[in-house]
Amino acid sequence: MQANPIRVLLLEQIHPEAVELLRCAGFDVTSLDRALDEDELVAALAQVQLLGIRSKTQVTQKVLDAAPHLLAIGAFCIGTNQIDLVSATAHGVTVFNAPFSNTRSVVEMAIAELISLTRRLTEKNKAMHAGVWDKSADGAHEVRGRTLGIIGYGNIGTQLSVLAENLGMRVLFYDTADRLALGNAHRSASLKELLHDSDVVTLHVDGRPENKNIFGDAEFAAMRQGSIFLNLSRGFVVDYAALRRHVEDGHIVGAAVDVFPVEPKRRGDEFVSELRGLDNVILTPHIGGSTEEAQQDIGQFVANKFLDFVNEGSTALSVNLPGLGLPRRKDTLRLVHLHRNVPGVLARVNGILAEHEVNVEAQLLGTKGDVGYLVTDSVSGTTQEIVDQIRAMPETIRLRVLT
């Protein structure tokens, strides 16, 4: 137990499992059920070392400038576009996310929505609640034998591909990266080709800035007459005004949308969108990954990343730093050195250690872009003078000593 426990702030209803794991480790945990705006976050982070958020809290440069003790941010979700990663790296703040934990939840929702829309269940349900009995099969189809076009063939896209094939669908995919096709999925040579050949088109792209507005009027027009559109990825990648026009004119016969360019911050706030009021459009409040199972898995995953980072200096699966995980030897002192990635840093650190006759037991260096991450273990002899000398190196961004 440390003399001054690590202070943790968790926002946006992080799963209780994460809270329990961190408290059992001796951390001082504060958990809130809402997001904080920029000014609130600046005030809250003055003494905080670990911050856990989901998608609504924006961690800006201003926030990071006001958080001198912050060591790591955990995004308890897939996306990290709500975090200024460049500024976080410059401040020596490690960022973790949960790239796999809610994959199945998103995929199952996509399957449920494409079946509902293909069978016109949303329209039948509304008619029944209005007292109208309409047993007609007009416009209702099986998904078996139909073609699913997946845009973005990453963790979610690939798993959706496998499940859709098991339902008897033909699967096409398009990705700007080189991806291995699973099962009988076929890679489309271009986005235009995929849109032309698909009965259902579903977006599963990431939040990088270049994906903004990648799907608009031209892409909807290129889709088949009578096709279906799904977006469970990012709100800012689609022109929803264009989607409404194509739904209203019957070119797109159904759509399901879970993410929006602007989303309410709190439960109960008004939701505003061009897509409201369309009977054959399913709208959900960004809940693709919001199952109890997924949130529990995410809570465990990111909380354990925090623990490994604090106790061992491990950055495995970090979003912004080199991913290192050096096994800890018994009775060693560990120096964790985040620095600018320039030639000679390793030699200088080892030179300082050699001058003080410190023998290195184990060492690992990784680089990523503009930064390097060095983990060094020694049995004895690392003094405050050594620490001060390494910390004073002009390349040093942050130095931690783990005993």
The predicted-structure confidence for 356-372, as pLDDT tens digits, reads as follows 999 999 999 999 999 99
24-54 burial string, b = 16+ CB within 10 Å, else e?
A: ebebbbebeeebbeeeebbebbeebbbbbbb
Q: Are residues 123 and 272 in the same domain?
A: yes
Q: Are residues 110 and 188 in the same domain?
A: yes
For 289-293, what is the mean pLDDT?
A: 92
Confirm if 42 and 63 have CB atoms less than 8 A apart: yes
Q: Decide if pLDDT at 26 tops 90.
A: yes
357 belongs to the catalytic site? no
Confirm if 144 and 118 have CB atoms less than 8 A apart: no
Active-site residue, selected from the candidate residues 7, 104, 224, 286: 286
Q: Is 210 helix (H, G, I), strand (E, B) or coil?
A: helix
Q: Is 286 helix (H, G, I), strand (E, B) or coil?
A: coil
165 belongs to the catalytic site? no
Domain of 72 in residue numbering reads as 1-102+292-321
Torsion of CA 167, 105, 290, 254, to 10 degrees: -30
**For residues 258 and 232, what is the distance between their CA atoms, to the nearest angstrom?**
5
Q: Which H or E element spans position 92?
A: none
Strand order in the sheet with 50-53: 28-31, 7-10, 50-53, 72-75, 94-96
Give the orientation angle of helix 103-118 with respect to helix 155-166, to 10 degrees. Answer: 50
For 213-231, what is the mean pLDDT?
A: 97
Q: Which H or E element spans position 307?
A: helix 292-312
Number of domains, the chain: 3
Q: Are residues 342 and 315 in the same domain?
A: no
Q: Is 123 helix (H, G, I), strand (E, B) or coil?
A: helix
263 belongs to the catalytic site? yes
pLDDT of residue 209: 87
**For residues 376 and 372, what is the distance between their CA atoms, to the nearest angstrom?**
13
Q: Are residues 21 and 139 in the same domain?
A: no
Give the predicted TM-score (pTM) of the model.
0.85
pLDDT of residue 382: 84
Confidence of residue 2 (pLDDT cuts 50, 70, 90): very low
Pull the structure tokens for residue 179: 């991806």
For 138-164, what is the mean pLDDT?
A: 97
Number of neighbours of residue 403 by Cβ within 10 angstroms:
7
Active-site residue, selected from the candidate residues 7, 15, 104, 234: 234
For 208-235, what is the mean pLDDT?
A: 96
Q: Are residues 129 and 91 in the same domain?
A: no
306: exposed, middle or buried (Cβ count in 10 Å: 0-12, 13-18, 19+): buried
For 283-299, what is the mean pLDDT?
A: 94
Confidence of residue 3 (pLDDT cuts 50, 70, 90): low
Q: Are residues 158 and 185 in the same domain?
A: yes
Q: Which of 67, 1, 14 is nearest to 310 (CA)?
A: 1
The predicted-structure confidence for 81-108, as pLDDT tens digits, reads as follows 899 999 999 999 999 999 888 999 999 9
**For residues 326 and 240, what is the distance between their CA atoms, to the nearest angstrom?**
47
168-179 burial string, b = 16+ CB within 10 Å, else e?
A: ebbbbbbbeeeb
Q: Are residues 224 and 178 in the same domain?
A: yes
Q: Are residues 120 and 110 in the same domain?
A: yes
Among 270, 302, 321, the domain-final residue is 321
Q: Decide if pLDDT at 338 tops 90.
A: yes
Q: Are residues 232 and 313 in the same domain?
A: no
Q: Are residues 263 and 300 in the same domain?
A: no
Confidence of residue 329 (pLDDT cuts 50, 70, 90): confident
* CATH code of the domain covering residue 31: 3.40.50.720
Confidence of residue 208 (pLDDT cuts 50, 70, 90): confident
* CATH code of the domain covering residue 382: 3.30.70.260
pLDDT of residue 1: 36
For 290-298, what is the mean pLDDT?
A: 94
Q: Are residues 142 and 161 in the same domain?
A: yes
The predicted-structure confidence for 32-89, as pLDDT tens digits, reads as follows 999 999 999 999 999 999 999 998 999 999 999 999 999 999 999 988 989 999 999 9
Averaged pLDDT score across all residues of the chain:
95
Confirm if 163 and 111 have CB atoms less than 8 A apart: yes
Q: What is the secondary structure of 62-87 as a DSSP string?
A: HHHHT-TT--EEEESSS--TTB-HHH
131: exposed, middle or buried (Cβ count in 10 Å: 0-12, 13-18, 19+): exposed
Q: Decide if pLDDT at 255 tops 90.
A: yes
Confidence of residue 4 (pLDDT cuts 50, 70, 90): confident
Q: Are residues 177 and 47 in the same domain?
A: no
3-state SS of 143-192 is: CCCCEEEEECCCHHHHHHHHHHHHCCCEEEEECCCCCCCCCCCEECCCHH
Confirm if 372 and 355 have CB atoms less than 8 A apart: no
**For residues 188 and 172, what is the distance between their CA atoms, to the nearest angstrom?**
6
Active-site residue, selected from the candidate residues 17, 263, 274, 361: 263
Q: Which of 255, 272, 319, 252 is nearest to 117 (CA)?
A: 255
